[in-house]
Chains A and B, each alone.
Chain A
Amino acid sequence: MASDDVGKAIGVVLVIGLVILAVLTAIAVILVAGFFIGTGVGFANYCKAFHANVRLERPAIS
């Protein structure tokens, strides 16, 4: 009997551990994905802004 209890306890711990691991992995994935999305969007926006505004020439005659 005692060995059954121990087995249950181990199982519960394993399940909880797996759940925590899954949650942490999900958070990490979200964070990494968020990082790539955020920086990607930021990079694209900066490039667009640079391309739209920077002209290495004298200003046009007004």
Chain B
Amino acid sequence: MSSTPTEDPAIRSYFFGKGYQDLSATIAESWQRNMDSAKEFFDKAPGGDDPGELFQSGVWIAAGISTLIFGTVFFAVASTIHIVLLCLFFLLVYIGFTVLWLMERAYLAVRSFFMACPHCYARSTIPEYLCDGCGAVHARLLPNSYGITSHICECGKKLPATFFLDRGHLQARCPSCRQNIAREHVESRRIFVPIMGGPSTGKSAFLFGAVRQLVEHEANNLGFKAELFDKRSEGGYRSVVGMLQAGRPPDKTRDPIPRAFNLSLYKNGRLAFLLYLYDPAGEAYQEADKLAAHGFHDYLSGMVLVVDPFAIPAVCAHYASELKRELGLLKPSELPIEEAVDRLLLTLEENFGLSKKGRVKQPLAVVVNKVDAFDLEDVIGESAVDRALAPAAGDNPVDRDAVRNKMLKNQLVDWGEQAFVSRIEGRFSNVRYFSCSALGRMPDGSGAEFTANAVLPPLLWIFGHADRASFADSANGNGARTAISPTLTRYFYAAIGVFVLAATLIVLGLNGHRFEPLVVRAVALIQELGYRHQARTASESARNADQAQHDAVPPRGAKSGGRVGQAGVPLAVAGSMYEVYGTVSHLNIRDSAPQYRTGRQRPRMGRDIGNLTELTRVRKISETTVGRDGDIWYEVEVTSGRSLGLRGWVNAYWLRPVKR
């Protein structure tokens, strides 16, 4: 198992190889058998001069010739039918295969399921899977030529080839580093957050302080149960927490390319999120080459940038005398804060597709650490935020996060880090500033426990961007979005429904059902429903209008023209003038056949409807508003149809011929 096989150790599906071989072999053998049969008949002819033998020879030769001619004709017809039927059947299979393949791809994409290797950060759609019978590595256990729903391993074991058939129960391994990985690294909702910053900024203390708070308190408050995902994560966590409890800061991180620290968040007994927290050594931010190996930048959910305020010259100058005393305990970071960001951006540009002027879309939490030192708590800590909020107490509620954000940003500018602030605000779409004390107090060698302070909000803010619903109030606006929104899920299921419907229709059509007439009838039915609705609406309108007419002033044409639109009232002779009471929409001549007579015979629909249409050309001559109810009389002229002797009904309420 030392190398990735180029070909899967599986048996190719019948429909992607053997089916065609069978067809070809059948045709070849059938032809050969026909030739053999004909030869057999010819060979049976005795070939003597005796009349009996001559007769026998004739019979056998005739049989041979018949086999050659009619047998070949039958062979040609049968082969053609065989080819056509097989191709149609295979086409159905291929359509099913394509639909399943697309559905799986769509499902994986919507659920954000992909393989993210915790060891080497490699990303791929699916990992390699190991046969649970013989351990053979199947690199592409997907619906493909080796099988649509399952692959048959060379050992004979049937392996599910799709997510929907529980493919995930097989042991997976990374195709890049070939280390085994758990199912959750592929089929779960994951949040990837690197903790970045120069050496000695307190990244490890921040990470484990935050994880500790999450595991011990906050997860419960959020409705989760937090568990360390694997033994390695658990070992690292226990070790660092032990040190913190003993009053010792965490050891310096040595690995510039860290393995992910995984934490599972369970909800209602099911894995809701798997967190990937990366804690690279600060030295990685001193060399861009080392950062290039941080493949998680390809799919990260957000970033935490830990800033050591004592890496800022203005802060060092301000606390110069204190620092002289506490320098050994504080261990200020030697990397200027903007350099870490510059190297990160350079790496993203050179290795992860960020354009030179592009902005990183993932949220960035800038966390100013070590606020426990000297009086920094009063300058940028939570007590400073409390003080800033105090004047607003009693008035409209003020967003504490916004106040903290503004205060920290202004303070960084005051400390002369305008360039740093401009840089991150210019290159990151979503930035928020936090302050924290990853150790909770200044290290003093007393052995008292370190308890982190305000380390969790930055992480929760990022988690909130990954899934707002689950981490309510953590994202606090700023374009927070749900990774998989209920609406998106509905769209996904709707898309599946459309897929299935389309596939069914195609299959029905291919199976010889009258697919096209069905569609035509469906469209016609929809149109018919529309027409009925229109007719009903028009009828109701007409009834209402009729009723209104009864209540209204008797119209001028009432006596002479009578009421029209009722059976038996002839009118609308071309060339005549009429006075019509109503609205414009009522001036249409009805053109439906039952209301149409020539006087001698019922005309044929197709041709005569055209004539009726001509009759509807009424020309409005003038209009007069009747004062009392605002209705209008129209004087109209019917301009065509007279030569054909047409008569019909005008769909107007009142109509009277006008004598010139």
Do A and B associate with each other?
yes
Residue in contact with A59 in the complex, picked from B11, B72, B75, CB distance below 8 Å: B11
A residues near B74, Cβ cutoff 8 Å: 38-39, 42-43, 46
Residue in contact with A37 in the complex, picked from B12, B18, B70, CB distance below 8 Å: B70
Residue in contact with A43 in the complex, picked from B12, B72, B78, CB distance below 8 Å: B78
* Cβ-defined contact, B75 with A42, below 8 A: yes
Within 8 Å of chain A (Cβ to Cβ): is B482?
no
Known: A43-B78, A45-B34, A58-B18. A34 touches B65 (CB 8 A): yes
Within 8 A of A (CB), among B54-98: 62-63, 65-75, 78-79, 82
User: Which of A42, A45, A59 is most buried by chain B, counting CB atoms within 10 A of its CB?
Assistant: A42
Q: Mask for A31-62, Cβ within 8 A of B = 1, else 0? A: 00111011101110110111011111111010
B residues near A52, Cβ cutoff 8 Å: 26, 29
Q: SS class of chain A's interface: helix, strand, loop or mixed?
A: helix
Number of A-B contacts (CB under 8 A): 96
Within 8 Å of chain A (Cβ to Cβ): is B156?
yes
Within 8 Å of chain A (Cβ to Cβ): is B37?
yes
* Whole-angstrom distance between the Cβ of A13 and the nearest chain B Cβ: 30
B residues near A56, Cβ cutoff 8 Å: 14
* Cβ-defined contact, A45 with B75, below 8 A: yes
A residues near B253, Cβ cutoff 8 Å: none
Residue in contact with A58 in the complex, picked from B33, B65, B152, CB distance below 8 Å: B152
Within 8 Å of chain A (Cβ to Cβ): is B227?
no
Residue in contact with B67 in the complex, picked from A42, A46, A50, A57, CB distance below 8 Å: A42
Known: A37-B67, A61-B156. A42 touches B29 (CB 8 A): no
Known: A37-B67, A54-B26, A58-B11. A46 touches B62 (CB 8 A): no
Instruction: Select from chain B the residue with minimum beta-carbon distance to A38.
Output: B70
Instruction: Select from chain A the residue with minimum beta-carbon distance to B66.
Output: A34
A52 to B13, CA, bound (A): 20
Residue in contact with B71 in the complex, picked from A33, A39, A55, CB distance below 8 Å: A39
A62 to B570, CA, bound (A): 91
A residues near B28, Cβ cutoff 8 Å: 49
Instruction: Select from chain B the residue with minimum beta-carbon distance to A52.
Output: B29
Known: A39-B70, A42-B71, A48-B33. A57 touches B14 (CB 8 A): yes
Instruction: Select from chain A the residue with minimum beta-carbon distance to B14.
Output: A58
* Cβ-defined contact, B78 with A54, below 8 A: no
B residues near A38, Cβ cutoff 8 Å: 66-71, 73-74
A15 to B70, CA, bound (A): 34
Within 8 Å of chain A (Cβ to Cβ): is B30?
yes
Within 8 Å of chain B (Cβ to Cβ): is A30?
yes
Within 8 Å of chain A (Cβ to Cβ): is B350?
no
A50 to B134, CA, bound (A): 35
Within 8 A of B (CB), among A3-37: 30, 33-35, 37
A56 to B72, CA, bound (A): 26
Within 8 Å of chain A (Cβ to Cβ): is B184?
no
* Cβ-defined contact, A59 with B18, below 8 A: yes
Chain B: number of interface residues, binned into ranges: 35 or more
Within 8 A of A (CB), among B10-66: 11-14, 17-18, 22-23, 25-30, 33-34, 37, 62-63, 65-66
* Whole-angstrom distance between the Cβ of B89 and the nearest chain A Cβ: 10
A59 to B25, CA, bound (A): 14
A50 to B154, CA, bound (A): 27
* Whole-angstrom distance between the Cβ of A4 and the nearest chain B Cβ: 38
A35 to B28, CA, bound (A): 22
A residues near B65, Cβ cutoff 8 Å: 34
Instruction: Select from chain B the residue with minimum beta-carbon distance to A61.
Output: B154
B residues near A35, Cβ cutoff 8 Å: 66, 70
A39 to B22, CA, bound (A): 22
* Cβ-defined contact, B78 with A42, below 8 A: yes
* Cβ-defined contact, B29 with A41, below 8 A: no
A45 to B18, CA, bound (A): 21
Instruction: Select from chain A the residue with minimum beta-carbon distance to B10.
Output: A58
* Cβ-defined contact, B62 with A49, below 8 A: no
A61 to B14, CA, bound (A): 13
B residues near A61, Cβ cutoff 8 Å: 11, 154, 156
* Cβ-defined contact, A34 with B69, below 8 A: yes
User: Which of A38, A39, A53 is most buried by chain B, counting CB atoms within 10 A of its CB?
Assistant: A38
B residues near A33, Cβ cutoff 8 Å: 62, 66
* Cβ-defined contact, A41 with B67, below 8 A: yes
A-B contact pairs, 7 of them (CB 8 A): A37-B63, A41-B66, A42-B30, A42-B34, A49-B27, A50-B26, A61-B156
In the A-B complex, the 6 residue pairs with the smallest Cβ-Cβ separation, listed nearest first, are: A38-B70, A42-B74, A34-B66, A42-B71, A45-B33, A49-B29
Binding site for B on A (CB under 8 A): 30, 33-35, 37-39, 41-43, 45-46, 48-50, 52-59, 61
Binding site for A on B (CB under 8 A): 11-14, 17-18, 22-23, 25-30, 33-34, 37, 62-63, 65-75, 78-79, 82, 152, 154, 156
Question: Given A53-B26, A58-B12, 13 other A-B contacts at CB below 8 A?
Answer: A33-B62, A33-B66, A37-B63, A38-B68, A38-B73, A41-B66, A42-B74, A42-B75, A45-B75, A52-B26, A54-B26, A55-B18, A57-B14
